[in-house]
Structures are given as structure tokens and as C-alpha cells.
Chains A and B, each alone.
Chain A
Amino acid sequence: MTTLPEILDRFNQNASAAKFRGRAVWDFHRQEQTRDTHALDVKMAAARGVKKLYGIGLHAIRQNASLKATTFLQQRAFRVNGALRQQPFDSSAEKPQFPGASAEFIDHLEFIQPNVISGIPVYRVMDRQGQIINPSEDPKLSKEMVLNFYQKMTLLNTMDRILYESQRQGRISFYMTNYGEEGTHIGSAAALEPTDLVFGQYREAGVLMYRGFPLDLFMAQCYANADDLGKGRQMPVHYGCKDLNFVTISSPLATQLPQAAGAAYAVKRENSNRVVVCYFGEGAASEGDAHAGFNFSATLECPLIFFCRNNGYAISTPTNEQYRGDGIAARGPGYGLMSIRVDGNDVFAVYNATKEARRRAVAENQPFLIEAMTYRIGHHSTSDDSSAYRSVDEVNYWDKQDHPISRLRHYMTARDWWGEDEEKAWRKQSRKLVMEAFERAERRLKPNPELLFTDVYDEMIPPIAKQRDAMWRHIQQYKEHYPLDLYEK
């Protein structure tokens, strides 16, 4: 077994003044240093870090009274002499010493083949008929909990239908449905604590619904009425709720990934046993921010769950145009992330994976990556008609043959927890709940236009106050041209 001095010695044998860079050499220097040479190293590091600012940097170093030219030359001589002192060694017993990677040497040329055919397997608990495959994986949740899963998924589905229609009728400006992905929302939300902080992308309304966000507030945000917690400032489906620890959605994709890493770091320092969960789609995972989020969470040891909804499409772009590797899960190990791929349409698989990831993320302060495979049954949004880029048959397969809601219903009916009567009654009741909230939201006025100007900063600042006053003066003068009656006074 080689000792540290021997390893460092061997490194120094190959070092020369030209190769004088890298952390290992700094560390080596610190072993041998006096205070004077350490000062030099700090200054040299500063100079080097400033790249080519040679004029100022080195001049300043030379000027430093505590550092004589002779000491400086001795440093250079030390490294040059090192090359002459090379000792014999046994190459077969060598282990790589590179600071960047610690794997073994290999003596034949071999490229690693990306494996997309038999890549990371998909974890599931139920088959498409809702039958448990491996009984030891059945989370054996209570009837009450499973019924709640089912009701939340179907309530979401019902709300989606009604709000999609309301956009078509011109009542709201925009909407995005969650068809087919309800399992990813409910399964993961159920595995979290209410205090866990959630960063979403835009197709995670079920998480908010599971946590208890009322229908009235979903509607208020979509209608941008005076009840909207967001004060009417964003497009529909950009939900947020401080009390439910769901950070407000923003349109730019993947920006939430490095933010989630930062939030998780702060949460870790609080020692509050909370985790941060970050949802995103497989398309958003192509953004640079996704790379940043993965890398930061791993290097900074953040208690964070990255939850990727791989639903097959980013608007019209199918996955084979989004990436060529084995999906998103395969990227995880590249960053040092614990990773798993699950069947997103299997609410128990999603639940199990999230539950375990949460337990370990908190206990071990490391991030986890869950790639939930699913399918986007609906269009990207009300601005999209997906028949332009995919076949109706493809969509029907997922709607009829592999749907998280029907899969769970099979599981429940097999246990006599649910039947035709319950289904009929619940459909009627859920629709009634949604319609009532819908009608209330329709009647509500929009927020006071004063709210156009607030919250830009924590406090109102003079230039914005001036502009606000100018706007009101203008509105007073031209009031018949502005829809003031729709807004609160």
C-alpha cells in the first residue's frame, strides 16, 4: 500500500513548471509549506484565477516585501528538479492518481455504448389490470387512503375537463390538462409530508389538489379573479400556495431545478427533516438549468427529490428528438445521483419510490432522481392540437389500456372497495363540486387594477408610484375605453 508521501512524490516527479496547476499540487504544497510559501500560493492562485491579468497580478506579488525573488526562484527550482528525481516503479500495480476520477486503468480501447434498448428498468407494483405483481412491494395502504387517491385523481380529471371546455368557450384565456399523469401527481404527493417544499413545472395540479388546495382557488387562479392568491398576475395553471408549501409556478422551463437545490440546501441547514421535491418534464430536462440543478444538488448534498414526468412529448417533440440516451434516469448516475425509473401510471410504484427516496434524502442528505414514465393523453395546452403530430390510435391506447385511474379502480374493485354505484355517485358529486366552484369563480370580479403596481419590490418605490398615479389619471379621463366594471374598486 502506497503512503501519501509516496503518492505525492510520484506526482511531483512528473510535474514541471509548465504543468503547475491543479488542486493536488496545491494540497501537496500545503504539506511542505512555510507561512511565506503559503502566502505565495494564495497570491498565485489569485493571479491564476484572474487568468491573463498578468500585469497587475504578478507585479503585485513581486512587490510584496515578504516574498523575495530568491524564494520565488526556489519554488520553480523545486518543481524542475523533481523531474530529475524519478524513481523506478511497478506499472502493473499502479492505480490512477488523478484528482478527477478514481477508476482502474484499462489496457484496451473500448468505448462505452449508451444502452437505450435494455436500459434502466421500469419499476412497477401493479400490472395494467391493477393486480399486484410482487406482494412484498404492495404498500398495503388503507382503504381510506386508496379511496382518497382515486377521488383526487378523478376530481382532477373532472376539473380538467370543465376548465378545458371553459377555455374553448372563451371564459378563461388558457388551460393545461393533466390527462394520463394523475398517477404521478397523487402517488408522489401522498409520499411527502405537508411541510415538504414543492417546486413544479406546470403539469402537477394533482399535487396541489392532494394537499387540499380548494377548487375555488384553482378556479380563482384560472379566472384571475379577486380571490386569486397570485393577485391575477399570471396565466392560468400557474398556481402557488404558501400555506401548502407549493412554490408558485413560472413559465420558463427548468428554472426551478437549481432553485430547488438551493431551497433544499437551506432546508438541510435548518435541520427540519424536510425534503424538497422538484417536478419537471423530460423536455425541460434538456435545459441547461436541469444540468445545473442535478450537479449542484449532488455536489452540495441536498435533501432533494427530482421527479421527472417523462410523458413522451414536449409539445410536439417526441422523446427521440429530445434525447438519444436512456431517458432522464440514466443521466442521474452521471451526476452522482441515486436514480430510479418507475411506471408513472402505477400510483403505488410512484408512491413507494417517492416514499423511499424521501426517507433517504432526509436521512442521508443526498438527492434522488425519479423518472416516472407516463403518457400525455391530452394536448400540450389549449393552444395545441396534438392530432397534428400523433395518431389518435396512439392516444387511445393509453387512454383505454394503460391509465392510472382505471388501473387503481381495478385494484379497488378487486377488493370490493369500489363498484358501479360508488362510481356513478362519485362522478355526479365530483362534477357538481367542480361546477359549483366554476360558477362562483365566473361571477367574481377581477382584482383592483391597483394590484398591477404592487409587489414589484417589497415596498412601493417612487417611480412606480408616479406611473400608477399617471395610469389612474389617464383611466379617469378615458374611462369608457377600459373594462372597469369587471374589476374590484
Chain B
Amino acid sequence: RMTMSRALMHFNAASRATNPPLTFTGTEIEEQVFIADTHCMNVSAGPTQKMNLFQSVTSALDNTLAGDPTAVIFGEDVAFGGVFRCTVGLRDKYGKDRVFNTPLCEQGIVGFGIGAAAAGATAIAEIQFADYIYPAFDQIVNEAAKYRYRSGNMFDCGKLTIRAPWGCVGHGSIYHSQCPEAFFTHCPGIKIVVPRGPVQAKGLLLSCIADQNPCIFFEPKILYRAAVEQVPTEAYQIPLSQAEVLQEGSDLTLVAWGTQVHVLKEVAAMAQEKLGVSCELIDLRTILPWDTETVCKSVVKTGRLLISHEAPVTGGFAAEISSTVQEECFLNLEAPISRVCGYDTPFPHIFEPFYIPDKWKCFEAVKRMINY
């Protein structure tokens, strides 16, 4: 008798049979959720080591604790290494006063982080799942984001960084799959960053930690083990608020962040192969404040824009990008801007394969835009 999980494995296997992966780097369950960059990322000249995404996070935290005596890492279960192993080894290496568990209370974790940062410590708070960040919403939006402004720059919590696992993972369902960035993009005063792989994660996380504004760093949990790259062992930073053009193209601009970047990599390849369409692929990287210039410059060139994210389409960040682009590039548009996103439902469990904005939905949207 087949169980649901086995059925899903069969589905995945069938899917793989008809869609051979471009680059096979994950385990069987993870499929090809991660496609390594084809170009060489010269982020740092130093030695590199093969790391997956959670290891690259550990490396960033390790560099931080080594170089900054005020740095502390805290949250639920971080002491033993964390439920996603992002903090493995750090407590033993740096001491229990620097890597410690807190009680199970997100509003407390973020509030505590704000206070520690305001008092001069580099505070790195872990929220166990982005789905559980909402109790801290008041502290983030009413306090952290406004600390500097409301005090006339006498006080700030710029040394605060909040990290949280983010996004769909195959079985996460309603409360282990959410992408809540849109709730926070409506909040001036914070920064929001989402990496697409280990090299990006380490550099962007180190930039968030160094940045003198409170930052939220969402880590795509499905990529924690599935994404593996050669990552520099020393510290390096990747600039915030700079989107990255991963692939140049002339017919259509694709924009995404996190896991969805890899989906669009496949879509770009499919578009080229099956439609002869040349896509320009942009990884937004920083969601707030976002790099309007790079996106608009691309749309001026291509005339078509497709934005894709897992989060529900209504009020999702694609709406903000779409609105800004139509203001700035109205006369350049050849087709309406397309958003391929999650449906306006909570994130379902067994229906995940139907819910997510997969490559077929994105490909279909590309076709429609080209034929508009």
C-alpha cells in the first residue's frame, strides 16, 4: 500500500524522468532546486571550501564571532547547533555567553536583540522559522525600524540582524513554508535580504551584520543542504541593495529572489531552447531597499517583465516591483507585467506541487508575454 510520501517520491521521480536536470547537485528528495552559477563569482581572493548553505551561514557567523568581541548569537535551540545546524560548533568555540538559547518567545528574542544592539553589541537573533516571526512584528516594525528616526539619531539598533529559515521545502505546509517578506517591505527603516546560494548567503549575511541598520535575513531552507558551492573561508561582503544580473538577455526580464531564482534559471533555458526567447535573469537579493535601477534598466531594454515568488500574489512584493516598473518604464513595455506567484491561499501541505509557481507556470507566462 502506497503512503502519501511514497506517492510524492514517485511523482518527483516521474517529473525527473521527463525533465532531466541541468545540473544535478542535490539529493534525490531535493531534486534540482539549486543550480550553481555558471560564471565564476570573484567575491574574495582567499581559499575556498565546499559548503552547503547552512555551512556557509555557520562560516559567516564564525567569522563574525572571531572578529567582533561584542557579537552574540541567540534564539531557540541555537546552543546545540540549531534545528538547521546553522550554529553547530560555535558555542564550543566561542563560549556559552556568546552563543546561547533563549526562552521560546519570538517577541522576546527580537526585543532582547534590539536592546543588546542599542547597548552596543552585535546582536544576531535567530527566529526558528519565518512562519513564527509574527509575534516579533511589533518589535520589528514599531521599535527596531523606528529606533534611529524617533530618537533623532541618538539611539539605534543598527547592530541587530535577524535570521530566519524561509520558503517552501516540499512538506512544510502552512507553518513551515512561508515567505513573509512582503509584510516587512511596508516598513521603512529595516532591510530585508534573501540569498540564492551559499556564496551569496555568506557575503550577504556578513553585509547585514556589518550594516548599521536592523536587517532581516531570510534563508531558503530547501537550499540549506541542496545548495553546495565553493565558498571562501574568510569573511567577505556582498553589497546590499544591489540586484545581480545572472544572465543577460534581450527579449524578457525575469526577476526573483531566493529559491525561485533557480526555477527561473530553468525557465530561461527552456525559453531559449523551445521558443528562441532570450531572457535576462535578475536576482533581486535585497528586497528592501530594492535596486530599482537595475530592474528598470533591464525592462527598458527588453520591454517585458516577469516577477515570480512563492508568497501569495496579492500584496506580494511582485506588486511593488510591477507598480514601480510601470511608472518608470511605461512606454517601454511590450506586454503587461506578469506575476507568477503563490495563490491567495495559505500554503497547503499535500497540494504543494500545484501551489508553487513552478517552471511550467513561469514558462507559460513567458509564452503569453512573447505572444502578446
Residues of chain A at the chain B interface (Cβ within 8 Å): 42, 45-46, 49-56, 59-60, 63, 197, 199, 228-231, 233-234, 238, 240-242, 247-248, 250, 252, 255, 257-267, 269-270, 276, 288-289, 291-293, 295-296, 299-300, 454-458, 461-464
B334 contacts the other chain (CB 8 A)? no
Residues of B160-212 at the interface with A, using a CB-CB cut-off of 8 Å, are 169-173, 176, 188-189, 191, 212
Subset of 24 A-B contacts with CB under 8 Å: A49-B128, A52-B173, A53-B169, A55-B170, A56-B170, A59-B29, A229-B154, A230-B152, A248-B147, A248-B155, A259-B112, A259-B143, A261-B111, A263-B118, A265-B72, A265-B115, A266-B123, A292-B105, A292-B108, A292-B111, A296-B103, A457-B191, A458-B148, A458-B156
Cβ contacts under 8 Å, A461 to chain B: 241, 289
A294 to B331, CA, bound (A): 58
* A231 adjacent to B139 (CB under 8 Å): no
A197 to B115, CA, bound (A): 11
B113 contacts the other chain (CB 8 A)? yes
Contact with A along B285-312 (1 / 0, CB 8 A): 0000100110000000000000000000
Q: Pick from A262, A288, A289, A457: contact of B116, CB below 8 A.
A: A262
Contacts A456-B188, A457-B213 given; indicate if A248 touches B135 (C-beta within 8 A). no
**Nearest Cβ distance between residue A284 and chain B, in whole angstroms?**
13
Max chain B C-beta neighbours (<10 A), residue from A46, A258, A269:
A258
Contacts A262-B114, A300-B100 given; indicate if A269 touches B72 (C-beta within 8 A). yes
Cβ contacts under 8 Å, B97 to chain A: 269
Q: Contact residue range for chain B?
A: 35 or more
Cβ contacts under 8 Å, B189 to chain A: 456-457
Contacts A59-B29, A247-B155 given; indicate if A266 touches B121 (C-beta within 8 A). yes
Q: Pick from A50, A242, A289, A299: contact of B103, CB below 8 A.
A: A299
Cβ contacts under 8 Å, A55 to chain B: 5, 8, 29, 170-171
Max chain A C-beta neighbours (<10 A), residue from B112, B114, B153:
B112
Beta-carbon nearest neighbor of A63 in chain B: B27
**Nearest Cβ distance between residue B187 and chain A, in whole angstroms?**
10
* B154 adjacent to A248 (CB under 8 Å): yes
* A262 adjacent to B29 (CB under 8 Å): no
A197 to B158, CA, bound (A): 18
A289 to B83, CA, bound (A): 25
B361 contacts the other chain (CB 8 A)? no
**Nearest Cβ distance between residue A362 and chain B, in whole angstroms?**
15
Beta-carbon nearest neighbor of B77 in chain A: A49
Cβ contacts under 8 Å, A56 to chain B: 29-30, 169-171
Contact with A along B120-160 (1 / 0, CB 8 A): 11010000100000010011001100111111111110100
Cβ contacts under 8 Å, A264 to chain B: 115, 119
A55 to B169, CA, bound (A): 10
* A456 adjacent to B77 (CB under 8 Å): no
Query: What are the 4 closest A-B residue pairs judged by CB atoms, nearest first?
Result: A258-B111, A262-B115, A292-B108, A49-B83
* B120 adjacent to A60 (CB under 8 Å): no
Cβ contacts under 8 Å, A255 to chain B: 111, 138-139, 142-143
* B150 adjacent to A258 (CB under 8 Å): no
Cβ contacts under 8 Å, B120 to chain A: 266, 270
A254 to B38, CA, bound (A): 50
* A259 adjacent to B118 (CB under 8 Å): yes
* B154 adjacent to A46 (CB under 8 Å): no
* B154 adjacent to A230 (CB under 8 Å): yes
Q: Pick from B142, B191, B225: contact of A60, CB below 8 A.
A: B225
**Nearest Cβ distance between residue A22 and chain B, in whole angstroms?**
14
Cβ contacts under 8 Å, A54 to chain B: 5, 171
A52 to B135, CA, bound (A): 22
B254 contacts the other chain (CB 8 A)? no
* A455 adjacent to B143 (CB under 8 Å): no
Contacts A250-B150, A456-B149, A456-B189 given; indicate if A42 touches B80 (C-beta within 8 A). yes
Cβ contacts under 8 Å, A50 to chain B: 83-84, 176
* B152 adjacent to A293 (CB under 8 Å): no
Q: Pick from B5, B146, B152: contact of A231, CB below 8 A.
A: B152
Contacts A42-B80, A63-B27, A248-B154 given; indicate if A463 touches B289 (C-beta within 8 A). yes
Cβ contacts under 8 Å, B25 to chain A: none
Contacts A228-B152, A247-B155 given; indicate if A288 touches B135 (C-beta within 8 A). yes
**Nearest Cβ distance between residue B301 and chain A, in whole angstroms?**
20
Contacts A51-B176, A263-B118 given; indicate if A46 touches B289 (C-beta within 8 A). no
Beta-carbon nearest neighbor of A459 in chain B: B212
Known: A60-B29, A262-B116. 20 other contacts (CB 8 A): A42-B88, A50-B176, A52-B173, A59-B27, A231-B152, A247-B155, A248-B147, A258-B112, A259-B118, A259-B143, A261-B108, A263-B118, A264-B115, A266-B119, A289-B108, A292-B105, A300-B100, A455-B148, A456-B148, A463-B289
Beta-carbon nearest neighbor of B103 in chain A: A295
